[in-house]
Amino acid sequence: MTEIRIYYECLEQAYDYIKPLIDEVISEHIQVILIKRPKNIKQLPKGMMFAIYSLTTPDILITGVKDNKEYPLILIELTEAVLTEDHELQRSYGALASYLSGMYYVKISGYKQSEKEFGGAEYNPYNTPKILIEKFNYEGFIIAEWQTEERNAYNLKRSCDLYICPPLISILKDTIKSVIKSFLQSEKNWFNNSLEILKQTDSYKYFCDKVNNANNSKKY
């Protein structure tokens, strides 16, 4: 038995935004199961899922099941917070859980401006994936930029049909497709195989340019 599971907080994000991307790369005999995120982690049996939810509460968690064994694949978080160093570092638990679990971490971030004053130092968010690459050899931290409106930097663009979601982001789509394809081919070494596929896409090359141009991570 092989299936893909989507654990979610918001059904609209899971069913109308994430599931269609998975549906593009699976065959008819592969089921996609949507599961509401547990309100209390004590409801989960001790194991992989319990460990992940003990560290963080992701908006979306995609897993794959083969032969009754569940594998964590992608943890997704959506944030509309104004960009400051403290906001970025407060959300590091998702990246930590993903690194320890051997899955991808995709942060969909809307870096809108604010008319209010916020404390906290300025911070280039691409420093975080750069640090994880250089110090831990972890290439699974992906930033999917949620763009602002063309003439209004205070408002984020919205999907025409899904106000709570951004328009389709290329690197999010490419990451999901490469991961699902690789896992369905083999649950062994799927991460490295998917990364090789992802590295061929324009969206990932653009992301790498942003990471490479981030500040020197030696000071962190």
For every residue of 158-186, DSSP letters joined together read --SS-TTSPSP-HHHHHHHHHHHHHHHH-
pLDDT tens profile 66-121 = 999 999 999 999 887 655 454 555 567 899 999 999 999 999 987 655 555 545 56
Structural domain harbouring 138: 2-219
- The residue count of the chain comes to 220
Angle at which helices 202-212 and 127-136 cross, to 10°: 90
Contact 126, 143 (CB under 8 A): yes
Tokens in use for 84? 């400051």
Tokens in use for 74? 């992608």
Model confidence at 186, pLDDT cuts 50, 70, 90, reads very high
Quick one: average pLDDT of 179-198? 96
Quick one: average pLDDT of 196-209? 97
pTM for this one? 0.88
The DSSP bridge pattern shows strands 104-110 and 69-79 to be: parallel
Residue with tokens 């032969």: 67
* Number of domains composing the chain: 1
Query: 5-9, 35-39, 131-135: which range is least confident on average?
Result: 35-39
Quick one: average pLDDT of 130-152? 86
